[in-house]
Structure 1
């Protein structure tokens, strides 16, 4: 059993404020009865919920976009540090949520939070070739040799070889120190370590896209929003081949 407003928000009906207005305006019915209390408890699976006369097709899985701030752990819980789950608004909270793929503590940008393990596995598996795109600010200039090294697959000191990656100079930065990096795997600290092999340090790192899903420009750092089914599908549309 859960609050009616929380369930509607989790199903992408609207923001908490919008959903509460719908309920108070009498647009929401549970088992044929008009409910005007947002806190009314319902069983999302067993109860028949309608919004504006249309049945709510409840999905047990949720997909949340976060513009992750620096200084926050990509983890479900931690006793010593704030996690991305701690940042979620109350109406998005539910058991089993986890970040699908971690961003380093000091890295910002697009993070997907979900309770769907199969979705996360498919998004992160190198075999699926889902692109992850980052903007990296470096402490030195990007060279043609670096671009070629990324394309051939950077080799770490321990002999681990990265899959081919794309390195571009950002057109917004004429001094060649801002890079756009596209990878389709997610090794630990991968982007920073790739640049370190090339003798460059990453000063600031931000993920801007996963597949064809881009970070919402209206989402301020630390903010979240529910993803639609179309958003979710777009993650797998921009695969590298």
Structure 2
């Protein structure tokens, strides 16, 4: 991780402001290698130094990556004055001040969403140039046929003339309803819904189950989350196909 200011590390890893971090240091609530430190600007290496903050579970990480099984009715945003956001449902022990969703799922879409504070990581997931496929399962008004699949896999044109990159598609039964499993590597507004609408079909339900080769942990109920492991992070940027 390298040397970083002590107050910055505390702010990042204890979900407090820099001002509050400096107060903790001033109040002698912080020790480094069992030594009380009173200088906010002291440089420490969280990979080497043993840092303890009284009243907080300090586990130093440069960034945090959280797998969330997003429920319906929650928006993919950091804050909203009227609507509940995905950040609102992250438990306090995982929260940091700079968390945001790496991409977005529509309010009524459920499933896999990664919450992080790593901007470069999020950009890599969201940029089509990095070819990170996202896999969705849909319930549709009508079953799809081979002609529908070919149009989607060739790269369908949406109603407003927007051209989509080729998708990977196969029929899927969604809770007893006709549907499809579709893999795309873009994130256009309401893209999956608009792709099927261009076929004269409608998406009745939608959930994301996979990013790259990282699959949603089926033990997570909707609204639950956990940290990703280092091995799981590597799966995000690989594709099982």
TM-score, with normalisation over the residues of structure 1? 0.77
| Cα distance change, pair 158–3 in 1 and its aligned pair in 2 (3 A) | closer
| Cα distance change, pair 121–172 in 1 and its aligned pair in 2 (3 A) | closer
| Cα distance change, pair 173–217 in 1 and its aligned pair in 2 (3 A) | closer
| Cα distance change, pair 174–99 in 1 and its aligned pair in 2 (3 A) | closer
Match runs of 1:204-223 below 5 Å: 204-223=205-224
| Cα distance change, pair 172–207 in 1 and its aligned pair in 2 (3 A) | closer
Residue 75 of structure 1 corresponds to: 77
Q: Which of these residues, 130, 133, 138, is aligned with residue 131 of structure 1?
A: 133
SS of structure 2 residue aligned to 1:151? helix
Give per-residue Cα distances to partners, 1:141-162, cap 9 Å, x unaligned: 1111110000111101221100
- RMSD between superposed Cα atoms in Å: 3.0
Q: Which runs of 5+ in 2 are unaligned?
A: 1-6, 15-30, 36-41, 53-57
Residue 164 of structure 2 corresponds to: 162
Number of residue pairs the alignment of both structures matches: 208
| Cα distance change, pair 112–94 in 1 and its aligned pair in 2 (3 A) | same
Give per-residue Cα distances to partners, 1:184-235, cap 9 Å, x unaligned: 1111000000000011111100000000100001111000101111111110
- Segments of 4+ moved more than 4 angstroms: 1-4, 43-47, 171-175
Match runs of 1:7-156 below 5 Å: 7=13, 31-33=32-34, 45=44, 48-49=49-50, 58-156=60-158
> How far apart are the structure 2 equivalents of 1:44 and 1:206?
44
| Cα distance change, pair 154–220 in 1 and its aligned pair in 2 (3 A) | same
Residue 203 of structure 1 corresponds to: 204
TM-score, with normalisation over the residues of structure 2? 0.77
| Cα distance change, pair 112–160 in 1 and its aligned pair in 2 (3 A) | same
The offset of 1:57, in angstroms, is 8.8
> How far apart are the structure 2 equivalents of 1:147 and 1:59?
44
Give per-residue Cα distances to partners, 1:22-55, cap 9 Å, x unaligned: xxxxxxxx64449xxxxxxxx995562289xxxx
| Cα distance change, pair 103–58 in 1 and its aligned pair in 2 (3 A) | same
